[in-house]
Amino acid sequence: MLEKDATWVAIGFVMFLLLLVYFKVPGQITKILDSRAQKINDELEEAKKLREEAQTVLAEFQKKNKEAEKTAKTIIEDAKKIAKKYEKEAKIKLEESLERKKKLLDEKLKRAESEAVSAIKEEVSEVVFEAVSKSMTSDNIKSSSYDQMLEDGIKQIRK
């Protein structure tokens, strides 16, 4: 049996295994594997923490985004209200300006009308006085009818 190579290979293998046990190699391999498993476990825990932090940051950004949108909507609504207010004020000022201009034009029209009436009255009075003077120079009109015509002319002018 000792002459066969397979026996010596088996004996060498058993001795190799005994040497490994003697030098505590399986324990060291176990420690290495355990430390590697622990390192992987730690990395997984850190990854979980990082993921939770990322989710927290994402939730905060989403909250801030919603707040920013609300603020933007509020600002837009306020701007629209202010714009409507300015529009109303501008309309009121425009209407007031138009009303003032209308009053000025009405006053100018009344002045022009009264000036025209005065001018017409002056022309009529001149024509009447000329007619009366011409008729006075003629002897056909009596002084009583002359006075009557003069009074009627004055009354007509006053109207």
pLDDT tens per residue across all 159 residues of the chain? 667 888 889 999 999 889 888 888 888 889 999 999 999 999 999 999 999 999 999 999 999 999 999 999 999 999 999 999 999 999 999 999 999 999 999 999 999 999 998 888 888 878 877 776 776 665 555 566 667 766 777 777 766
Residue 150 burial (C-beta neighbours within 10 Å; 0-12, 13-18, 19+): middle
Category of 85 on φ-ψ map: left (φ > 0), alpha (ψ -120 to 50) or beta: alpha
Neighbours of 135 (CB within 10 A): 14
- Buried b / exposed e over 58-97, threshold 16 CB at 10 Å, is eeeeeeeeeeeeeeeeeeeeeeeeeeeeeeeeeeeeeeee
Whole-prediction pTM:
0.44
The interaxial angle of helices 143-158 and 25-137, nearest 10 deg, is: 180
Cα dihedral 59→61→66→68 (10° resolution): 160
pLDDT of residue 8: 86
Q: How far apart are the first and last CA of the chain?
A: 165
pLDDT of residue 156: 73
pLDDT of residue 141: 56
Question: Cβ(20)–Cβ(26) under 8 Å?
Answer: yes
pLDDT of residue 72: 96
- Among residues 135, 159, 158, the alpha carbon closest in space to that of 147 is found at 135
pLDDT of residue 139: 55
pLDDT of residue 100: 96
| Rounded-to-integer distance, Cα 139 and Cα 129, Å | 16
Q: For the chain, which residues make up each domain, given as ranges?
A: 5-158
